[in-house]
A and B are shown apart, each in its own frame.
Chain A
Amino acid sequence: MEVGRLPISASHRAKLISAGYTTLSSLSSLSPSYLARELNITDSEALEILKVASLNSRLDRTDGGQAIVNGAQTAWDMLHEEQLLPRITTSCADLDNILGGGINCKEVTEIGGVPGIGKTQLGIQLAVNVQIPVDLGGMGGKAVYIDTEGSFMVERALQIAEASVLDMSEYNDLLHKENRACQMKLKPNDILESIYYFRICSYTEQMAVINYLDKFISEHKDVKLVIIDSVTFHFRQDFEDLALRTRLLGGMALKLMNLAKTYNLAVVIFNQVTTKYMDGSFQLALALGDSWSHSCTNRVILYWNGDERYAYIDKSPSLRSASAPFSVTTKGIRNSASNYKRIRMM
């Protein structure tokens, strides 16, 4: 490995190279004070350079047969870990089914769809569902809701929370038929209190909040879900420099992926829809372009199929592509209406 690839400042790199240290091995046997004299820098700076260099040379060394590489994991261990991971239910059994049980932790899931299909509704539902207590099969976590469009409605969140509490206490009664003492402790207001809401008004703030999440979540360890509704809005409005947009979006996706892995949480981002000219006709496609489509682990598209709402797995490394109906009711996201009599308004 070359010195040019070390994460050190440009002037230090230039000094190293001009003093003749071009490879990592040439740095390996040096003492900090010697290097400091050589490059005419302070001792602490020299120490820093050597630390970075030794870390990188260790990562670089892949010889030695079964060398234990820093940070790696065997596929077998990963399998075990994946089986233990809880999932966040969508409250729609068919949808959970095609998602393999719900929204997965440690993954970034992108959900897109036409206006009015129910993206925000699904977001609110997930923010409520992540709080289902562990003894009822949930995660008992909290949610961060990043709202770029201003479409988060507390009234609606309260409705969904109330319906969810009702469902939970019903389920609880079933579980503990003989043991009546086991009462539901969760109240709708508690659910609302565990949703941390950020209102974002520009793409700079969006970048900032994603950088800041790292610190925020390390202070609020019980956050198990991050929702961005929608990732698209600001990036669609005030952008002329598309190269900058691609770069920023790429960086953002990477940070979200890291966040999901480090804190073992689920990230759900919503995307808008645009029309695209393909094969001689205009078709619907998710916004933000082709390079963005690479950045999420899973991609789900919500669409109208006749009179019903459907979800389609467009991309996933582990799930097969399938579609399932769902519906949006007064109580929130539920199984498709055709399965039971539709609840009429009022």
Chain B
Amino acid sequence: MQIENQVQPAVCRLNGISKSFGDIQALCDVTFEVRKGEFLAIVGENGAGKSTAMGVLFGLLEPDAGHITFAGERRKLKSARDAIDAGFGMVHQHFKLYPDLTVLENVLVGYEGANGFGLVPFQERRKAVASLIREFEFTLDLDRKISDMPVDARQQVEIVKMLFRGASVVILDEPTAVLTPQECVTLYAMLKRLCAQGKSVVLITHKLGEVMDHSERVLVMRHGALVAERKTSQTDQGELAELMVGRQIETVEKISRIQPQVVASLQGVSVQSGSDKPRLDGVSIELRAGEIFGVAGVTGNGQKELVNAVMGLEKNSAGQIIFQGRDIGGLTVAERRQIGIGYMAEDRMTIGLAARGTIAENLIAGREGPSPKGAVREGHSGFSSYGFLHWRQIRDHAQRLVKNYDIRTPSAMQRVGNLSGGNQQKVVVARELSAAPKLLVVENPCWGVDVGAISFIHRQILQLAETGAAILLISNDLEELFELSDRVGVMFEGRMNRVFDRSELDAFAVGATMSGDEEQRP
């Protein structure tokens, strides 16, 4: 598999690295090198071992076997400190920042350059950081707190942090997951400049399009092993995808069956607290039966409030929420669930599921009480009566759903927290879909879920829409939105900035709207 070319010298090399957590082999005999000045991409599914490999390389995890060499010299990394000293820098997928500290303080922690008394020479360090920021044409206010800053600026802080320490190998873990397409362009331009300066860039991602566009060399990982190495110019997206998954991926076929009747509509809905400007500002949408309405937007632009208003978790301060011809603004969460509104929360470990509860317990949540009069829907007549639970029904129900939704578990009485991410999400899907909702609110259904489970979940959502339910799909993943949605609304600063029809969907147009650009209409 070795590619012979006029290669640059290797900056570092991983030799036969293995690492396991308990019974799970996260890395198995992985060997590769990073060369000077190259743009290397490492691709693989969730759980393929990319992050573990970087953790080992960065001194955060100790390998069970194998070793690392820097410039041909064998070194043992005891902590991230050693990796940083060896010239490594890493931007983690979840930023490693301190929200209440200023930009300057964030950059300095761990690299303070303290004087003999241990005091930090802030003036001097400030100048150094400021000149670095100018050099890369970032716009960062050194005295601003991280918590007040948008996501792309936070990422810039991470990059400054890394470069300030003189990193010559720059590792980025899923850097574009949180960026709009426009911001991605800026980021990649910056990374190319780093390469030109002779620094090596290692990009960890599952977005194959970006890999094809920007990298020079690709490593593919699967189940903890390195399965392929390709020059980017000699491969294509299809091959990489197949190598990544190890089989042909079935694409989900979308059939739109939108029916004329409106299931739910929002009319000028706002959410406001205190005297500040509303966090959700006059949003109006109509959801028809069989329609999947996607909501795009940079996190924190009112998506959460939109969901909360629909579910009754937060009161809408203005406007009306109509469901099946009835204003539901005054109904509680329980009442909304009873009339057929379902919710798959994004944070499944603490909101979507009770991780310490069993699968069976999780599967009846929301339907454990007495069924409302005249609203006995099929399949779930009575998990309790007179305030007492019917454990036999609960267990049968759980066993049925475990089978129907292919939840891989030894038993239905297993704790949900012990399941894998994909299986946990299947529990959520099973609970919500088995309630046969007329309106389902779905938030980022595929976070931290492996490819197999993703296509399963997507299929389930599409099938539900085909049966005539309306679906409100909030996602940070544009690909997912484009694949599933009939229409996509883009949120910016609490407003629904623009709604795209399926036919006019275009990553750049949507991206521009996400950053508040309304003028750029085609």
Say if A and B assemble together. no
Residues of A within 8 A of B (CB): none
